[in-house]
C-alpha cells in the first residue's frame, strides 16, 4: 500500500487472514507513504504460524513486513500481527521506519510463541522501530506472548540512529518504547560480536524506555543484553523489569549507558512472588504496575554477568534499584560507573531471612567515579531480615578519585566477610566517604564510620554472636 509524493489521502489497509503465512527469499509486505497522507495499516492474522526467513538470492534485500515513511510529512501506519507462532530468521525483519518528519508506526504483536534467530550480511533478524535522517519520532513496539526467545544475534530494537551503517544520518525525533508482556523471556548467544539484544537507543532526542512484565522468569545467557543507551545529548531511556526470577549467566548484561552529554537511564528490577503476579487485562498503552506485591524472589548473576549503568562522557550515570528476596552473585556485578561526572546510586531492598546477599568469587557491588572531581554515588542496602555474605575478593564499594567518596548504608542481621573482601567508600585523592552499618534497626546502630586512607576492615565490626560491647 503506497501514498505517492503528491498525494494527501491515507493509504489503504492491508488485511491478511490465513492459517499460515511464509515470507521468504526477500519477499515483503509493506505499507509506505512518500507524501502528505498517512500510510495505511497492516493487519495480519495467521491462526497457525508466521515465518519470515532469508534474503533475496543476491543477499541485497531481507524478507520484510514493514510500515514506513520515506518522503513527505505523512505518518507511518500501524502494524498488527496476531498468530500462534511467529518466527523471524536469518536476517528477516518486522519493522516500523520513518525517514521524514512523519511519525513511525506502532508495531503491535500478539503470539503464543515468538522466536527471533540469527542474522545475515544485511543485519540482524528481529523486530525494529527506527527513525533516521529527519525529526520524525519512532513508533513503539508492543508485544504480548507466552514465550519470547531471542537467539544468536537477533534483536528487538527501538532507535533513532543506525548503528550498523554510520553513513546514515541519525534522526532527531524521539526513540520509541519497547513494552513486552510474557510468561518467559530468554536471550541466548554464543557470538561475542553479535549478542542477542533488546535495545532502546538514542542520539539527540529522548531515548525510549524498556518495560518488561514477565510472569515466570527472564534469562540472559552468553553475552546477551538488555540495554538502553544514549550516544549524544539525548537522555537515555529507563529499563523496568517486573518478574519472578531473573538469571544472568555467562556474560549476560542489563545496562544503561551514556556515551555523550545525555544522562544514562535508571534500572529498576522488581522480583515478585508469582502468586501475586497477574498480567490479566494489562493495558500495553499504560505503564506496567503491579500493586501490593511482595518482592520475594531471586536475582542470580553468574560468570561475568552484570547489571550496570555507565557514563563515559559528561552525562550522568543512572540509578539502579532492585527489590526482591535474594541476590546471589558468583563472578557477577552490580555497578554504577562514571568517568567525568558523579556516580549513580544503587539501592537494594532484599527480604530473605537467611542469606539476603551472597557474593562469591570476585563479585562486586560498586558505584564509582574513575577520573573527575565528581563524588562517588551512594549504596543503600536494606536486608534487615537476613545476612550479607561476601567471599573470595567480593566487595561493596563507593569510590572516587578526586572527588569525595560515596556513602554506604547497610541494614542487616549480620555481615560475614573473609579477609579478601571489603566494604569501602574511600577517595584516592579527595575526602573519604562514609560507611553506616545498622545490625538491628531498633537497637544496634554502629553509626557513621569515617574511613581511613586504607579500606576499613569491616570484619572487626561484625556481630558474631557476642554482645556489641564485647567487640
Do residues 207 and 185 make contact, with C-beta atoms less than 8 angstroms apart? no
What pLDDT is recorded for position 3?
A: 40
1-29: pLDDT as tens digits = 444 444 444 667 899 999 999 999 999 99
Q: What is the pLDDT of residue 357?
A: 95
Mean pLDDT lowest among 81-95, 276-290, 328-342, 371-385:
276-290
Any idea what DSSP says for residue 465? S
Residue carrying C-alpha cell 501475586: 276
pLDDT bracket for residue 237 (50, 70, 90): very high
The arithmetic mean of pLDDT across residues 329-333, rounded, is 96
With vertex at residue 44, the alpha carbon angle to CA 41 and CA 50, rounded to the nearest 5 degrees, is 140
**279-293 mean pLDDT:** 41
pLDDT at 46: 96
- State yes or no: pLDDT of 453 exceeds 60: no
pLDDT for 345 beyond 50: yes
**Lowest-pLDDT range of 194-208, 209-223, 287-301:** 287-301
**What's the pLDDT score for residue 230?**
84
Query: Picking from 8-17, 299-308, 390-399, which range would have the lowest pLDDT averaged per residue?
Result: 8-17
Q: Give the CA distances from residue 43 to residues 88, 241, 295, 414, in Å, rounded to whole numbers and listed in that order.
A: 17, 29, 39, 58
Q: Confidence class of residue 334 from pLDDT cuts 50, 70 and 90?
A: very high
Which band of pLDDT confidence, cut at 50, 70 and 90, is reported for residue 395? very high
pLDDT of residue 307: 97
The average pLDDT across 27-43 equals 84
pLDDT of res. 469? 40
- How far does Cα 317 stand from its chain's mean position? 14
Domain residue ranges in the chain: 14-351
Lowest mean pLDDT among 128-142, 208-222, 350-364: 128-142
Query: Where does residue 277 fall: left (phi above 0), alpha (psi -120 to 50 degrees), or beta otherwise?
Result: beta
pLDDT band at 275 (very low <50, low <70, confident <90, very high): low
Judged against a pLDDT cut of 70, whether residue 456 lies above it is answered with no
**455 confidence band (pLDDT: 50, 70, 90):** very low
What is the predicted pLDDT for the residue at 439? 85
Q: Which residues contact 241 (CB under 8 A, 6 or more apart)?
A: 212, 214, 218, 226, 254, 267, 268, 269, 270
Give the pLDDT band of residue 362 (cuts 50, 70, 90). Answer: very high
- The confidence band for 74, taking pLDDT boundaries of 50, 70 and 90, is confident
What are the start-end ranges of the E strands in 331-465? 333-338, 346-350, 355-360, 364-369, 379-390, 395-399, 407-417, 423-424, 434-438, 445-450
CA 79/CA 101 separation, integer angstroms: 19
What is the C-alpha separation between 265 and 263, in angstroms, rounded? 6
| CA terminus-to-terminus distance, the chain | 78
Of 447 and 47, which is predicted with more confidence?
47
239: pLDDT strictly greater than 50: yes
Amino acid at each position: 500500500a503506497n501514498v505517492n509524493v503528491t498525494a494527501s489521502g491515507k493509504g489503504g489497509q492491508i488485511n491478511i487472514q490465513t492459517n499460515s503465512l511464509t515470507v521468504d527469499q526477500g519477499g515483503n509486505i509493506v505499507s509506505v507513504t512518500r507524501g502528505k497522507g498517512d500510510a495505511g495499516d497492516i493487519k495480519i492474522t495467521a491462526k497457525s504460524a508466521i515465518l519470515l526467513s532469508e534474503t533475496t538470492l543476491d543477499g541485497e534485500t531481507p524478507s520484510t513486513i514493514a510500515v514506513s515513511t520515506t518522503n513527505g510529512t505523512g505518518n507511518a501506519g500501524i502494524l498488527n500481527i496476531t498468530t500462534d507462532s511467529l518466527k523471524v530468521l536469518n536476517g528477516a525483519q518486522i519493522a516500523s521506519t520513518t525517514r521524514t518528519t512523519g511519525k513511525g508506526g506502532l508495531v503491535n504483536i500478539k503470539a503464543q510463541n515468538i522466536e527471533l534467530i540469527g542474522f545475515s550480511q544485511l543485519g540482524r533478524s528481529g523486530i525494529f522501530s527506527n527513525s533516521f535522517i529527519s525529526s520524525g519520532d519512532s513508533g513503539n513496539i508492543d508485544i504480548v506472548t507466552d514465550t519470547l526467545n531471542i537467539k544468536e544475534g537477533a534483536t528487538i530494537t527501538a532507535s533513532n540512529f543506525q548503528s550498523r551503517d554510520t553513513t546514515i544520518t541519525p534522526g532527531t525525533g524521539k526513540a520509541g518504547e519497547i513494552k513486552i508482556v510474557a510468561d518467559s523471556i530468554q536471550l541466548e548467544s554464543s557470538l561475542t560480536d553479535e549478542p542477542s539484544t533488546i535495545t532502546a537507543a538514542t542520539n539527540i532526542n529522548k531515548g525510549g524506555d524498556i518495560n518488561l512484565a514477565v510472569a515466570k522468569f527472564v534469562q540472559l545467557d552468553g553475552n546477551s543484553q538488555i540495554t538502553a543507551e544514549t550516544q549524544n545529548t539525548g537522555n537515555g531511556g529507563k529499563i523496568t523489569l517486573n518478574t519472578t526470577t531473573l538469571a544472568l549467566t555467562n556474560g549476560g548484561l542489563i545496562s544503561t549507558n551514556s556515551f555523550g552529554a545525555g544522562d544514562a537511564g535508571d534500572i529498576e528490577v522488581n522480583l515478585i512472588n508469582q502468586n501475586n503476579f497477574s498480567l490479566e487485562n494489562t493495558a500495553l498503552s499504560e505503564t506496567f504496575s503491579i500493586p501490593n506485591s511482595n518482592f520475594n524472589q531471586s536475582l542470580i548473576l553468574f560468570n561475568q554477568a552484570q547489571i550496570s549503568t555507565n557514563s563515559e562522557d559528561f552525562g550522568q550515570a543512572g540509578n539502579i534499584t532492585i527489590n526482591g528476596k535474594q541476590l546471589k552473585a558468583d563472578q557477577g556485578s552490580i555497578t554504577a560507573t562514571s568517568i567525568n561526572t558523579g556516580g549513580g546510586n544503587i539501592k537494594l531492598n532484599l527480604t530473605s531471612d537467611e542469606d539476603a546477599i551472597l557474593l562469591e568469587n570476585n563479585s562486586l557491588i560498586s558505584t564509582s567515579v574513575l577520573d573527575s572531581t565528581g563524588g562517588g554515588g551512594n549504596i543503600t542496602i536494606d536486608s534487615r531480615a537476613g545476612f550479607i555474605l561476601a567471599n573470595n575478593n567480593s566487595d561493596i564499594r563507593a569510590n572516587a578519585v578526586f572527588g569525595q567518596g560515596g556513602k554506604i548504608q547497610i541494614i542487616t542481621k549480620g555481615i560475614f566477610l573473609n579477609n579478601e573482601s571489603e566494604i569501602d567508600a574511600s577517595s584516592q585523592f579527595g575526602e573519604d566517604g562514609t560507611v553506616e552499618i545498622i545490625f538491628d534497626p531498633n537497637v544496634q546502630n554502629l553509626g557513621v564510620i569515617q574511613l581511613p586512607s586504607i579500606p576499613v576492615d569491616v570484619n572487626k565490626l561484625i556481630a558474631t554472636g557476642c554482645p556489641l560491647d564485647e567487640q
